[in-house]
Amino acid sequence: RINYHVNNATQKLAMVTGLTMDASYSPKPCDVNTVSRWEVTDDDQAACEGAETLDAATRTLFADMLTYEVTNNAFIVDVRLYDKFAGTFNADLSNDLCDAADQSKFGFHIWANGQCYKHVHKEEYNVYFVKGGIDDIQYISNGML
- Give the Cα separation of 110 and 117 in Å (integer): 5
Mean pLDDT of the chain: 79
Query: Can you tell me the mean pLDDT for 76-80?
Result: 92
pTM strictly above 0.85 = no
Q: Identify whether 29 is preceded by a cis peptide bond (ω within 30 of 0).
A: no
**Digit-coded pLDDT (tens) for 86-102:** 544 444 444 457 888 99
Confidence of residue 2 (pLDDT cuts 50, 70, 90): low
